[in-house]
Amino acid sequence: MERLRFAPDAAFIPRGDLLDGVTVAPLTARPGSGSPVQAAIFRLAANGRLRRHPATLPQILAVLEGSGRVSGSDGEFQPIGPGEAVFWLAGEEHETETDTGLTALILEADGLQPWRIGS
């Protein structure tokens, strides 16, 4: 049993201009390490944003705390809050933003398939 931490003080500010007011605490080894899935806790401060960009891989964003707005290929924002998640296809343009702050799990994996009731 190996211990890991993803608390706010274990997070870092990622490089790149797609993210405003965002910290990331990874749960899994980085891309290219051979891990078949990338999982990380993203914390968006008030007015934080993951700017519009295409998903590299199929992706699930699951909101753990706070609330915000998400959009997919049609660019229309929909509200999202705790207990709610979205699935984006590989290559799908998408965006996430929040007025008051939001903590989300992001999962990315080649071949990732979301839960569907009855599936």
Binding site for its own copies (CB under 8 A): 1-8, 10, 26-30, 33-37, 39-41, 60, 62, 64, 70-74, 78, 82-88, 92, 94, 105, 107, 109-116, 119
Backbone angles phi, psi at 13, to 5 degrees: -95, 115
CB 62 within 8 A of CB 112: no
Integer Cα distance of 37 and 75 in angstroms: 26
Query: 21 vs 77, which CB is nearer to its own copies?
Result: 77
The label of the residue with tokens 């080894």 reads 29
CB 21 within 8 A of CB 46: yes
Tell the smallest beta-carbon distance from residue 2 to its own copies (Å).
4
CB 22 within 8 A of CB 98: no
